[in-house]
Amino acid sequence: MKLEYLDFKNTKIPLIFEENNDLPVIVLKLVFKNCGRSFDKIPGTARMFARILNEGVDDNFFKELELKAINLTSSSGFETLEINLTLLKEYKEFAFKSLANLLKQPRFDEKILQKNKFLVLSELASKNSDFDYLAKNLLNSNVFDYEEFKSPNDGNEESIKQITLKDLKDFFNKHINLGNLIISLGGDFIKKDMQKLLELILSPLDKGEKIPDKKYDLTSHLKDVNLVRKESEQAYIYFASPFYGSIKDNDIYMAKISHFVLGQAGFGSRIMEEIRVKRGLAYSAYSMLDLNLSYNRIFGYLQTKNENAQEAKKIIKQVFDEFVNKGINEEELNQAKNFLLGSTPLRYESLSKRLNIAFYEFYQDLELGYYKNELKNIEKVNLNEINAYIKKHDEILKLSFASLKNEN
């Protein structure tokens, strides 16, 4: 895995790549940083623009790609917008030319926009009965005091109706540029031979201005909010707490170990053991260390009977309290270390996985190979060190809850 910078239009564009001839396939990912929901002026604009890209340049665009087994998709999340291209190497000229045409002339057409608005509004209507979706959005809108979290990545009914072609064009001109771009490329190619093809897809894009990162903190006020839905046969409970750490901290590996024990390990984790195994309150319960460029938190979920909701939340608090104050034991530490060390080969077994890991290392401002090097620290950490680390992070006790349930 290598990192180089393409110098194009007086802009240095990071290129993460691996030459691999196991299969005659090429995979390309264009990631536009600071180009997701958190940078929407109107909620849902970024995701709507991704939908416009998925319309191609005309009605035949994707039919022609499909005939050559070329897969081209666009998607948008909270922080980024990405375009993924997978192809057989024999069609690389056609595939890259098609992508260049798409970036040159996205299908800004009123009929296309109205069609996608209808689809989004239909999906939002159907999600009104998706209780997991509703409970998760309820949590996000309450634990963050920022407008960006008041509606999901899709936007909401009101915001979708507001989006115009001008809004999409403005979004395109501001965000889809070289200054915010990271390229990931892998497969059966020789890097020097790809220069012209890469420049072909970059040529439609302006240099643009690099958009600064955003940072979000969880609210300092603990929340316990409920959404009552009489048709719900279960209580859907999401919870979160702050985590005052960074992916770049020298001791962040201890957070990964400890939270594996707390709730990320599935069966065997503290939360699963207390909630399901001992009390049978839920089929599944977990918590995870949720580290992002723009925010960090502990995030968790469980589903239980309506009448057990309060007891389940009480137990979650107790598990967190005991975890911070008493730490973990030697057996739990060894199990966590064995899993994290033993599962590493699986995380690197395919080209797409290796590219994805390398991309996130770069995206999070880490050196390529960081996660493999981190294993050395995981291997040698001792119980006293990990428990001192856990005790230091008592901010995770500031738990907030959001529940969808039938109070009757």
Burial per residue of 117-139, b for 16 or more beta-carbon CB atoms within 10 angstroms, e otherwise: beebbeebeeeeeebebbbbbbb
Mean pLDDT on 305-312? 93
So what's the pLDDT on residue 100? Answer: 98
Q: Using one digit for the tens of pLDDT, what is the confidence trace for 350-398?
A: 999 999 999 999 999 999 999 999 999 999 999 999 999 999 999 999 9
Mean pLDDT on 180-194? 95
E runs forming strands in 117-223: 181-187
So what's the pLDDT on residue 268? Answer: 82
What gap in Å lies between CA 199 and CA 6, rounded to an integer? 9
So what's the pLDDT on residue 30? Answer: 98
Determine what percent of the chain is predicted with pLDDT higher than 90.
Answer: 92
The pLDDT of residue 121 is above 80: yes
What gap in Å lies between CA 309 and CA 138, rounded to an integer? 16
Check if 2-203 and 225-405 are the same fold.
yes
So what's the pLDDT on residue 74? Answer: 98
Q: What is the CATH number of domain 2-203?
A: 3.30.830.10
Average pLDDT, the chain: 95
Q: Using one digit for the tens of pLDDT, what is the confidence trace for 28-79?
A: 999 999 999 999 999 999 999 999 999 999 999 999 999 999 999 999 999 9
- Residue 394 to residues 186, 258, 321, 326, 391, Cα–Cα distance (Å): 42, 13, 9, 12, 6
Burial per residue of 241-251, b for 16 or more beta-carbon CB atoms within 10 angstroms, e otherwise: bbbebebeeee
Helix residue spans in 327-369 (DSSP H) = 330-342, 344-347, 351-363
Fold classified for 225-405: Cytochrome Bc1 Complex; Chain A, domain 1 (3.30.830)
Mean pLDDT on 296-319? 95
So what's the pLDDT on residue 372? Answer: 93
The pLDDT of residue 316 is above 80: yes
The pLDDT of residue 408 is above 60: no
pLDDT bucket at 156, cuts 50 / 70 / 90: very high
So what's the pLDDT on residue 4? Answer: 96
Residue type, 394: D
Cα torsion angle, 168, 169, 172, 173, sign: negative
In three-state secondary structure terms, 70 is: coil
Rounded to two decimals, the pTM is 0.93
pLDDT bucket at 284, cuts 50 / 70 / 90: confident
The pLDDT of residue 348 is above 70: yes
The pLDDT of residue 282 is above 90: no
What residue ranges do the domains of the chain occupy? 2-203, 225-405
Cα torsion angle, 80, 75, 117, 402, sign: negative
pLDDT bucket at 277, cuts 50 / 70 / 90: confident
Mean pLDDT on 168-175? 96
Supply 124's token pair: 């939002």
The residue with greater pLDDT, 264 or 42, is 42
Q: Using one digit for the tens of pLDDT, what is the confidence trace for 327-340?
A: 999 999 999 999 99
Supply 87's token pair: 């192809």
CA angle 28, 30, 36 (to 5 degrees): 145
pLDDT bucket at 103, cuts 50 / 70 / 90: very high
